[in-house]
Structures are given as structure tokens and as C-alpha cells.
Amino acid sequence: LKGLLILLLIGLVGLFAVGCSQKEKGTPTGGTNGAEDENAKPKYTVAFEATFAPFEFRDEKTGEFTGFDIELIKAIGEVEGFDVELKEMGFQGIVAAVKTGNIDIGCSGITIKEDRLKEVDFSIPYYQAGLGIVVRANETRINGVEDLKGKRIAVQIGTTGADFARTIEGATVIDFDQVTDALMEVKNGGADALVNDYPVNLYYVNKSPKDYKMVGGILESEYYGIAVRKGNTELLEKINSGLMKLKENGEYARLYKKWIGVEPPEFLPGE
Ligand code: ARG
């Protein structure tokens, strides 16, 4: 009996060992690492700040990040054969994170501008934006940019809106990490106006027309680009070629219509 038990034990240990080795085989190591890398899609990290609807925001129902930028970068990855890993962070830190290589791609409604071009490389423009002003719905004193003098202006920190607000004579500029908090400050009277990207203002004002209205039209024209680390031409070329493929196959226009609500201009995306 003792002998039998020992045999049974050996048998069980043997089975266990076989089971383990099979599990290891289950992972696709398939011999050399080189062979594995050729088949695996590269995965790039994508940074964005998610209080910027309709470009990037958290879907209230699903809790997932969504918007024009999010779907666009995923679609670029699909046609160019790479996966993306979404990473939310403060807007102010995105260009620096791409510059140092902590993040592969910055896709966050980032305006292509002189000082940023010194830090990172940008894709071809994929969206034409501009700045605009939001005030409380019952505001009567502020009807345009000239009325912002000496007023308290809420902005998102590190944005072109923040830069613009600081050029206004006598204005007090109040920085916020999130656009939604800056808007709240206008609503509760802590600030008189918000200066921020026009299409984003439009989205939030349409969401709460009893709280907010837009005044003064489009102040400044800007183009959004997707940022990569300086000299990362391999990734930049993938992004540019992806944008052009999505333009040709109609997917760019579909996403644009879905999120912006109108047809994209003929020249976008493009030089
Ligand atoms: N376009 C502006 C800029 O580049 C604001 C972008 C803010 N983006 C965001 N996802 N919060 O400065």
C-alpha cells in the first residue's frame, strides 16, 4: 500500500509539472524574442487632459475616455499597426512628458505654436481651432474682448487661452488645472469670464445654456497637432501617414462629423 501511495504521489507531481510547462508554452514565446517582436504590435502611450470635450473627456455613462482626439489616435493606430495606451495627465505637463520620452504621443487639442515647436515635433495640422470667451448667461457688462480689461479671467493653466488672457490690460488671470473647474468659477462669480478654445467652449455652453453664453466670436485662429519627441521621425511619419489614410478612407470625416457636428474643411488634415 505504501508503495502504491508513493507511486501515486510521483504521478501527481509529474502531472503537475507537465501542466506547468504547458502553461508556459501557452504564452507565445515561440523561441527567440526576435520572432515575438516582429508579430507584436508596438504600443505607444498617449497623453491628454480630459476636461476638454468634445476632444477628450470621460464619458459619463461608461466612465471611459472618449472624444475626437481619442478616437482619432486609436484610428491612426489601427491603420498604422500600433496600439495605444491612454494616460490622462495635467495639460501643462504633456509637452514636457513627450519631450523627455516619458510619453510617446501627446494628443490633447494641442495648438502648434512657436515655443512648443522648440520642445517637440508636431504632426500635420488635424484641426483648426481658435479662442473664445464664455461668460455667465446673465452677464451684461462683457460683450466682447474689449470688455475683458480689468476683469477676472479664468483659464486652464498652460494653455494658449491662459497666454492670451495675460495680454489683457489690468486683467486678473486665475489658473485652473481643469477647464470644468474654470467654468465653475465663472458660474459661481469667482471669475467674470473664461478664455479657452472656441469649440470646447461651444460644447460646454450648449450643455448648460442656462448658466453660460459665448461672447465676442473667435479671437485667434490656431491649429492642433499631435506631438512626438523631437527627432522621432519613425513615429511622426506613422502618425502623418495615418492621418492621410483616414482622410482618404473617409474615417477622418466620419469622426469629425460625429464629434464636431459639421463636415471638416477640405484642407484638413494637411500641411
Ligand atoms: N489648444 C490649447 C493649447 O494648446 C488648449 C488645449 C487644452 N487641451 C486639453 N486637453 N485640456 O494650449
What's the whole-model pTM score? 0.86
Name the strands in the sheet holding 56-58, side by side, starting at the edge strand that comes first in the sequence.
Answer: 51-52, 56-58, 65-66
Is the minimum distance from the CB of 69 to ligand 1 under 6 angstroms?
no
Q: What is the largest CA-CA distance in the chain?
A: 99
DSSP 220: -
ipTM confidence: 0.98
User: Tens digit of pLDDT for each residue in 79-134?
Assistant: 999 999 999 999 999 999 999 999 999 999 999 999 999 999 999 999 999 999 99
Helix extents (H) in 33-159: 33-39, 68-80, 94-100, 114-117
Asked if residue 123 has its Cβ within 6 Å of ligand 1, the reply is: no
Residue 271 pLDDT > 90, yes or no? no
Whether residue 196 has its Cβ less than 6 Å from ligand 1: no
Distance from the alpha carbon of residue 33 to the mean position of ligand 1, in angstroms: 40
Distance 177 CA to ligand 1 centre (A): 11
Among 120, 160, 177, 202, name the best residue to mutate to test ligand 1's pocket (greatest count of ligand atoms within 8 A of Cβ).
Answer: 160
Could you identify the atom of ligand 1 that is nearest to the CA of residue 160? Answer: 12
Ligand 1 center to 9 CA (angstroms): 65
Burial category of 64 from C-beta neighbours within 10 Å (exposed 0-12, middle 13-18, buried 19 and up): exposed
Kindly state if the Cβ of 48 falls inside 6 Å of ligand 1.
Answer: yes
- Model confidence pLDDT, tens digit, residues 214-254: 999 999 899 999 999 999 999 999 999 999 999 999 999 99
Residue 54: is the preceding peptide bond cis (ω within 30°)? Answer: yes
